[in-house]
Amino acid sequence: MKILVTVKRVVDYNVKVRVKSDGSGVDIANVKMSMNPFDEIAVEEAVRLKEAGVATEVVAVSCGATQCQETLRTALAIGADRGILVESTEELQPLAVAKILKALVDKEQPQLVILGKQAIDNDSNQTGQMLAALAGLPQATFASKVVVADGKATVSREVDGGAETLSLKLPAVVTTDLRLNEPRYVTLPNIMKAKKKPLETLKPADLGVDVAPRLKTVKVAEPPKRSAGVMVPDVKALVEKLRNEAKVL
């Protein structure tokens, strides 16, 4: 069984992002970049399925600039067998990425596609669902447990009312939640081995995909700074402020 897993290069979660002075976006110049944490969980789950003998090959895919090769090498160090970079200088919005992945699904014919549920830079939470719709595949989002057996994937997921278990006929699309697993520490020997693993570079045009942006960012702004708190003498004063100033009652 072949598993296709996606990885995205994003600003490291420990970095405090800054908005550009012209409000056109987030400043990523000289900022530490790393793999999207949800995608790291996706890679870990794919590798665990391979180690359990369920899968025979794990293919990591990334879309974006040339520097995404570094992110793919990290996925290869975790345990993926080979990488595919779809290189583009365009701003890749979720629909464009979903179309690229759909083309790769047609080309690679994986039995399972695992994605992080969302990227921490834009928090769109759209690509997995769009891919499933475009490819006509069953999907399970926000997976907290995945069991693959007998041509089916049994996925446990958390919902507002508690827990839900879905049974999907393979091939299928799964997106990962934080509780699915704890990604392993990447060791230096595995980093060195990853440098020798195959990494294929393609262009969107090679897959017949148009990645032109459909949406336009009008303005990016930082959230307003919180004002200092005030002490109130009693509950009555607190209720009055909540009703008259905060307008929450």
Dist CA 186 CA 164 (whole Å): 32
Q: Determine contact, residues 30/85, Cβ cutoff 8 Å.
A: no
pTM for the full model? 0.85
The pLDDT value recorded for residue 168 is 95
Domain boundaries, the chain: 2-223
pLDDT in single tens digits along all 249 residues of the chain: 999 999 999 999 888 888 888 888 888 888 899 999 999 999 999 999 999 999 999 999 999 999 999 999 999 999 999 999 999 988 899 999 999 999 999 999 999 999 999 999 888 999 999 999 999 999 999 999 999 999 999 999 988 888 899 999 999 999 999 999 999 999 999 999 999 999 999 999 999 999 988 888 888 888 888 888 888 899 999 999 889 888 887
Contacts of 233-237 spanning 24+ positions with Cβ under 8 A: none
Superfamily of domain 2-223: HUPs (3.40.50.620)
Q: Determine contact, residues 38/120, Cβ cutoff 8 Å.
A: yes
The one-letter amino acid at 56? T
